[in-house]
């Protein structure tokens, strides 16, 4: 069924059409009716399948069908997300869907000034998209009231119920009215988190699309065995072989993100980094540059592994394997979104093999291996090394070769 056939407010239908959304994706088709019905929902669907609109559309329809006068600083619907970038992104999706509907939305996240946010909250808000930190901050100062909350949504729900966030979520649930509707959305969930989620709601309807393979079918993903010290040469090669492609490169730490960027710079390749050590302005600017294609190579930590929806990311490179197995699914899920296809390549060094085993057991299948024969491996390293050297070291190298003419230079492993 197309959106046209749904019993939605005409303006909502028009806004969907303007976004180019003609018919619901699977998860939208299955989630919209129970949410409109007021039921609690636990929805699991692969990355890039339109989970945001799967809750946004029915929430907006509910808000427009039943107008409520709100007390000062009150909100009707809260959407919790783990990162600033996701708060911004989800707010933007709502903004596009509520055009001219007389419904309002606000995104709250740290790193920006509070005063304008407080001013907007004063007369009440229909929809609030927030990271827990800033939201609780404003609530404790009396600039946000939970008394009129009708719907609570946890996006990236499994992550929001993990150690770093669970006490905040429990506190929030204690503070909102008893009869509220609760929705959980994610691409991954484990048994423990599932139990936890069910413990927080009444009778959640469970919707799960393609439970067998958590990785989206739009993604061709494989692993290459590359040693730690050689990874930069292989990244350089991939970038050089796809000069026009947008590529998201995941590394394990903030320090490594900067190091990889430096290594690329040394061989004349431009990139930008995003991680938790950067101030919000810089993070936002980096995201905009990547979105608009001003910068094509973004080096990121796991802070950007979940939820981020950037068009035309053709490649995801796991420069380091993720330490948490489910983050593999989220990282590779930054490509192959909607109807697009994508490619993900992971570098696995000898010391990372146990992590690869964990990821494969989480996926319940093995990841295809890219066979690199010895000669090709050495060539990749050697060619890169040659181009990396400045003239001084080239002279030094040729001098050394003069001294030992027979011996080919090889990279230590």
**Interface contacts to ligand ADP, rule CB under 6 A:** 21, 24-25, 28, 45, 47-53, 309, 337-338
Which residue, 290 or 377, has its beta carbon nearer to ligand ADP?
Answer: 290
Is 336 a binding residue for Mg ion by CB under 5 A? The answer is no
Site string for Mg ion, 10-49 (x = CB under 5 A): ----------------------------------------
28 binds, among Mg ion, ligand ADP, none (CB under 5 to 8 A by kind): ligand ADP
Q: What does 228-282 look like in DSSP terms, one character per residue?
A: GGGHHHHHHHHHHH-TT-EEEEE-SSHHHHHHHHHHHHHTT---EEE-TTS-HHH
21 binds, among Mg ion, ligand ADP, none (CB under 5 to 8 A by kind): ligand ADP
Q: Shortest distance, CB of residue 182 to Mg ion, whole angstroms?
A: 17
Q: Using CA atoms of 136, 110, 48, 290 in order, give the dihedral in degrees to the nearest 10.
A: 180
Q: Shortest distance, CB of residue 315 to ligand ADP, whole angstroms?
A: 18
Q: Shortest distance, CB of residue 199 to Mg ion, whole angstroms?
A: 23
Q: Shortest distance, CB of residue 53 to ligand ADP, whole angstroms?
A: 4
Q: Shortest distance, CB of residue 59 to ligand ADP, whole angstroms?
A: 13
* Beta-carbon contacts of residue 13 (< 8 Å; ≥ 6 apart): 3, 4, 6
Q: What does 327-389 look like in DSSP terms, one character per residue?
A: HHHHHHTTSS-TT--EEEEEEE-GGGHHHHHHHHHHHTSPPEEEP--HHHHHHHHHHHHHHH-
Q: Shortest distance, CB of residue 24 to ligand ADP, whole angstroms?
A: 5
Q: Which two tokens stand for residue 21?
A: 């959304």
268 binds, among ligand ADP, Mg ion, none (CB under 5 to 8 A by kind): none
256 binds, among ligand ADP, Mg ion, none (CB under 5 to 8 A by kind): none
Which residue, 34 or 82, has its beta carbon nearer to Mg ion?
Answer: 82
Is 283 a binding residue for Mg ion by CB under 5 A? The answer is no
Q: Which two tokens stand for residue 252?
A: 């394990």
Is 306 a binding residue for Mg ion by CB under 5 A? The answer is no
Residue nearest to ligand ADP (CB): 50
The number of CA neighbours under 13 Å toward the Cβ of 182 is 22
Is 231 a binding residue for Mg ion by CB under 5 A? The answer is no
Residue nearest to Mg ion (CB): 307
- 8 A C-beta contact, residue 120 and residue 98: no
- 8 A C-beta contact, residue 210 and residue 178: no
Is 51 a binding residue for Mg ion by CB under 5 A? The answer is yes
Q: Quick one: which segment of 245-253, 269-277, 299-307, 376-384 binds Mg ion (CB under 5 A)?
A: 299-307
CA gap 188, 182 in Å, rounded: 18
Is 107 a binding residue for Mg ion by CB under 5 A? The answer is no
The binder of Mg ion chosen from 82, 307, 333, 342 (CB under 5 A)? 307
Is 333 a binding residue for Mg ion by CB under 5 A? The answer is no
25 binds, among Mg ion, ligand ADP, none (CB under 5 to 8 A by kind): ligand ADP
CA gap 143, 122 in Å, rounded: 7
Phi, psi (rounded to 5 degrees) for 108: -120, 125
- 8 A C-beta contact, residue 43 and residue 125: no
Give residues in contact with Mg ion (CB under 5 A): 51, 307
């Amino acid at each position: 069924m197309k959106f046209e056939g749904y019993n939605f407010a005409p303006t909502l239908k028009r806004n969907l059409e303007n976004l180019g959304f003609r018919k619901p994706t699977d998860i939208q088709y299955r989630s919209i009716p129970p949410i409109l019905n007021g039921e609690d929902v636990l929805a699991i669907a692969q990355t890039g399948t339109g989970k945001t609109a799967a809750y946004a559309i029915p929430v907006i329809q509910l808000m427009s069908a039943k107008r409520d006068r709100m007390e000062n600083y009150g909100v009707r619907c809260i959407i919790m997300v783990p990162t600033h970038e996701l708060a911004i992104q989800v707010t933007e999706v709502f903004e596009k869907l509520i055009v001219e509907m007389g419904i309002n939305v606000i995104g709250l996240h740290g790193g920006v000034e509070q005063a304008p946010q407080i001013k907007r909250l004063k007369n009440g808000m229909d929809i609030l998209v927030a990271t827990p930190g800033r939201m609780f901050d404003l609530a404790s100062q009396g600039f946000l009231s939970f008394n009129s909350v009708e719907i609570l949504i946890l996006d990236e729900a499994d992550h929001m119920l993990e150690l770093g966030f669970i006490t905040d979520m429990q506190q929030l649930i204690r503070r909102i009215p008893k009869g509220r509707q609760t929705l959980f959305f994610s691409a991954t969930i484990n048994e423990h988190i599932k139990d936890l989620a069910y413990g927080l709601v009444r009778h959640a309807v469970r919707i799960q699309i393609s439970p067998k393979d958590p990785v989206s079918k739009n993604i061709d993903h494989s692993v290459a065995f590359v040693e730690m010290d050689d990874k930069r040469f292989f990244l350089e090669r991939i970038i050089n072989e796809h000069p026009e492609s947008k590529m998201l490169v995941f590394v394990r730490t903030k320090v490594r993100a900067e190091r990889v960027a430096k290594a690329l710079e040394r061989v004349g390749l431009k990139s930008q980094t995003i991680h938790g050590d950067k101030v919000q302005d810089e993070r936002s600017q980096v995201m905009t540059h990547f979105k608009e294609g001003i910068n094509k190579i973004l080096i990121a930590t796991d802070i950007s592994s979940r939820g981020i929806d950037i068009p035309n990311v053709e490649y995801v490179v796991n420069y380091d394997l993720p330490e948490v197995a489910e983050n593999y699914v989220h990282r590779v899920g930054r490509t192959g979104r909607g109807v697009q296809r994508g490619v993900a390549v992971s570098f696995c060094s000898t010391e990372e093999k146990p992590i690869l085993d964990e990821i494969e057991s989480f996926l319940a299948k093995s990841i295809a291996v890219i066979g690199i024969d010895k000669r090709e491996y050495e060539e990749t390293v050697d060619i890169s090394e040659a181009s990396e050297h400045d003239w001084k070291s080239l002279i030094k190298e040729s001098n050394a070769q003069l001294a030992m003419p027979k011996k080919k230079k090889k990279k230590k492993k």
